[in-house]
Structure 1
Amino acid sequence: MPAPSRLAIATSAVTRLVKEEASYHKELEQQKASIAKLEQGGGDENAEYQLKQERRALEETKAIFPSLNARIKEALAKLEQQLEQDKGPGDQSTPEEITKAKEAIAGAKTALRETM
């Protein structure tokens, strides 16, 4: 099996980061729901501690987004640059790789727009 092309590597990096960002958004929503449930239930003596811990976890999750967005932007720039380089003579990328790269670019741009 031949080694993956530079375009394929850049594409998978962007795709992975976009999936990671979506996962953090899902985690953020779960934490918000957990906090709301604890705020409503609150009869147990440990509830205040749990609520404090959940709020801390929520803030830690929110703090991840700026650095993650910066990594997505960096990977996106590398992918776009690689795609431009592969358009020239001696193109080593397959049409399938180019299509996947364009889809990854569109997905990354959508993810970045949603977080701003």
Structure 2
Amino acid sequence: MAPPSQLSIATSVVNRLVKEEASYHKELEKQQASIAKLTQGGGDENAEYTLKQERRGVEETRAIFPQLKQKMQDALAKLEQQLEQDKGPGDQSTPEDITRAKEAIAAALKAIRETS
């Protein structure tokens, strides 16, 4: 089996970062829901400590987004550059690779717009 092309590698990187960003958004939602539940309940003696820990977790998760956005922008630029290089004669990318790359670019642009 032939090794993956540079275009498919760059596409995989972008797709992974888009999934990672979505995962952090889900985690942030869970943490915020947990905070809301703790502030409404206020039941046990550990509630204050748990609330403090959850708030710190939210802060840490939010701190990841700027770094992740930068990584995504860098990977997106590399993918776009690779896509341009592969359009010339003698390219080694299949039409499926090009389609996947364009889909990954669209998904990354959408994710970047949503985090802005």
Percent identity between the two aligned chains: 77
Correspondence 1:20-39 to 2 at 5 A: 20-39=20-39
Correspondence 1:96-107 to 2 at 5 A: 96-107=96-107
- Map of 2:72 onto structure 1: 72
Corresponding letter in the other structure for 1:21: E
Aligned residue for 2:43, secondary structure, equals coil
1:91 CA drift (Å)? 1.0
CA-based RMSD: 0.3
TM-score by length of 1: 0.99
- Map of 2:110 onto structure 1: 110
1:77 CA drift (Å)? 0.1
Q: 2: distance between equivalents of 1:75 and 1:50? A: 37
- Map of 1:88 onto structure 2: 88
In the comparison of the two structures, how many residue pairs are matched?
Answer: 116
TM-score by length of 2: 0.99
Q: 2: distance between equivalents of 1:67 and 1:115? A: 12
Structure 2: state its 5+ residue gaps: none
1:101 CA drift (Å)? 0.1
Q: 1: distance between equivalents of 2:23 and 2:45? A: 32
